[in-house]
């Protein structure tokens, strides 16, 4: 099958679209990446998404849901053009959508409370505009089964990226998540969880320190030349999420703009309004927080299981200073995905293409030991094509 995976993550950088060809069955998946592109969010669109995450009035959310569907459909057409594949020959689209809110089980101080999540990007619009069926809304089935709804990439990590040795696959997007992948062919259970903030706080600090001119700290330049405030860093490391045992997940609801605003209020010496030096120190301190929490999570929960390497993907892999700081905190080689043949930027979009394929094959795509769900579940909801097409033979038990 030819499948496009769509992903717009918590970094709010743009739409990642990956076109893969995939076949096989669990334990013997054969695939390759045919084309990938990122469609950056223009200023106005990015602002609307960020505003929805914070203020989210019903009318605005409704309109954004429809518009995101149009923009995702545009990205599908564009990646097919890059691949030289006529849209009519595309079999399936897997759309993660844009996360607006993600609340894991027990959040808001209620221990027994079930989780809830909201991703926007109308799948009916995508199907109507492309004439291709869409699988979307991947997280909710896992959460209905008492799971975290995240991370959802571990199934793909095992079936697409297992090697001859155990490895830790670390993806640093807005948040950071890690999967311990046993050697290929092993039936050892997976371990996967969110470690905490990835790029979200660093990007927010860089944007604030530059007066809105920059969206991120290019190559870690500001962090490298700033001074880490050790007292502030130690205080930030005491956040209860970092000591929480897996399974666990988080998002901008915890480590987002509100977190950054409170930090600056409590520590005015790091307020970029105080000058260039303060801004660089803010970026440096938050970069150190991301690196330290990742390294500590790896050392505490992942590396004791055995791992020959840590492979870094996502936007954070493009920050050499962040990668270097993580490498200082662990005792195994830390490599970027590009060094081992894994596309740094495409990995998560590829995962949702693979999860869409798993859905139509009736294959459970969650990993209960990673999310805490009651058991395996076929993930996602199916939206038929917008024009007559040969139907899929969907296995019994699909959602």
Q: Token pair of 334, please?
A: 């830390």
pLDDT digits (tens, 9 = 90+) for 131-181: 999 999 999 999 999 999 999 999 999 999 999 999 999 999 999 999 999
Per the document, the length of the chain is: 399
Between strands 334-336 and 28-40, the pairing is: unpaired
Please report the DSSP string for 312-326 in residue order. EESGGGG-HHHHHHH
Q: Which residue has the higher pLDDT, 346 or 44?
A: 346
Domains of the chain: 2-156+348-383 (3.30.420.40), 163-340 (3.30.420.40)
Output the pTM of the full model: 0.90
Residues 6 or more apart from 314 whose CB is under 8 A from it?
A: 171, 172, 173, 176, 198, 199, 344, 345, 347, 348
Tally of CA atoms within 13 A in the half-sphere of 369 that contains its CB: 11
Average pLDDT of the residues in 219-227: 96
**CA–CA separation, 273 and 77 (whole Å):** 43
Residues 6 or more apart from 174 whose CB is under 8 A from it?
A: 9, 10, 11, 12, 197, 198, 199, 200, 203, 251, 252
pLDDT digits (tens, 9 = 90+) for 288-314: 999 999 999 999 999 999 999 999 999
Check residue 398 and give its pLDDT.
37
Share of the chain above pLDDT 90, in %: 81
Largest Cα–Cα distance in the chain?
63
- pLDDT-derived band at 236 (thresholds 50, 70, 90) equals very high
> What phi and psi, each to the nearest 5 degrees, are found at residue 94?
-115, 115
Residue 348 confidence (pLDDT) above 50: yes
Q: Token pair of 252, please?
A: 């901008």
- pLDDT-derived band at 71 (thresholds 50, 70, 90) equals very high
Q: Token pair of 154, please?
A: 């571990």
Q: Which 3 state secondary structure label does DSSP give 279?
A: helix
Give the 3-state secondary structure percentages of the chain, helix then strand then coil, rounded to 5: 45, 20, 35
Residue 393 confidence (pLDDT) above 60: no
pLDDT digits (tens, 9 = 90+) for 178-199: 999 999 999 999 999 999 999 9
**CA–CA separation, 47 and 108 (whole Å):** 26
- pLDDT-derived band at 392 (thresholds 50, 70, 90) equals low
Is the preceding omega at residue 247 within 30 degrees of 0, hence cis?
yes
Check residue 107 and give its pLDDT.
59
Residue 57 confidence (pLDDT) above 90: no
249, 219, 22, 235: which is closest to 116 by C-alpha?
Answer: 249
pLDDT digits (tens, 9 = 90+) for 365-378: 999 999 999 999 99
Please report the DSSP string for 254-277 in residue order. TSSHHHHHHHHHH-GGG-GGG-HH
Q: How far does the chain reach from its first CA to its final CA, in angstroms?
A: 19
DSSP 164: S
Average pLDDT of the residues in 271-289: 96
- pLDDT-derived band at 395 (thresholds 50, 70, 90) equals very low
Q: Which residue has the higher pLDDT, 219 or 48?
A: 219
Q: Which 3 state secondary structure label does DSSP give 53?
A: helix
Q: Token pair of 364, please?
A: 């459970």
Work out the mean pLDDT of the chain and round it to a whole number: 92
Q: Which residue has the higher pLDDT, 192 or 57?
A: 192
121, 102, 119: which is closest to 39 by C-alpha?
Answer: 121
């Amino acid at each position: 099958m030819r499948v496009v995976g769509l992903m717009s993550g918590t970094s709010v950088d743009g739409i990642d679209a990956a076109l893969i060809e995939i076949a096989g069955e669990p334990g013997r998946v054969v695939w390759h990446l045919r084309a990938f592109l990122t469609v950056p969010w223009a200023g106005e669109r990015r602002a609307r998404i960020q505003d929805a995450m914070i203020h989210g009035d019903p009318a605005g959310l409704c309109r954004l849901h429809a518009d995101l569907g149009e923009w995702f459909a545009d990205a599908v057409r564009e990646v097919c053009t890059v691949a030289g594949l006529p849209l009519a020959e595309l079999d399936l689209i897997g759309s993660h959508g844009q996360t607006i809110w993600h609340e894991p089980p027990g959040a808001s101080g209620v221990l027994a409370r079930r989780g809830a999540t909201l991703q926007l990007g109308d799948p009916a619009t995508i199907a109507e505009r492309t004439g291709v069926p869409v699988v979307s809304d991947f997280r909710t089935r896992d959460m209905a089964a008492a799971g975290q709804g995240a991370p959802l990439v571990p199934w793909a990590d095992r079936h697409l990226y297992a090697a001859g040795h155990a490895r830790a696959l670390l993806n640093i997007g807005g948040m950071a998540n890690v999967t311990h992948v046993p050697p290929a062919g092993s039936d050892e259970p997976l371990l996967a969880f969110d470690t905490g903030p990835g790029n979200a706080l660093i990007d927010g600090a860089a944007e604030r320190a530059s007066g809105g001119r920059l969206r991120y700290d290019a190559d870690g330049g500001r962090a490298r030349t700033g001074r880490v405030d050790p007292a502030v860093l130690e205080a930030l490391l005491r956040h209860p999420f970092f000591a929480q045992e897996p399974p666990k997940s988080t998002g901008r609801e915890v480590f987002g703009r509100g977190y950054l605003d409170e930090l600056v209020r409590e520590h005015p010496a790091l307020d970029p309004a105080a000058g260039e030096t303060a801004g660089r120190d803010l970026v440096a301190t938050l970069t150190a927080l991301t690196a330290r929490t990742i390294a500590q999570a790896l050392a505490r929960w992942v590396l004791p299981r055995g791992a020959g390497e840590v492979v870094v993907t996502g936007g954070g892999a493009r920050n050499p200073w962040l990668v270097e700081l993580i490498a200082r905190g662990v005792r195994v080689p830390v490599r970027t995905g590009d060094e081992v043949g894994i596309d740094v930027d495409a990995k998560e979009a590829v995962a949702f293409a693979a999860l869409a394929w798993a859905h139509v094959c009736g294959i459970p795509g969650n990993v209960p030991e990673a999310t805490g769900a009651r058991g395996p579940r076929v993930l996602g909801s199916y939206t038929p094509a917008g024009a007559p097409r040969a139907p899929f033979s969907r296995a019994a038990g699909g959602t």
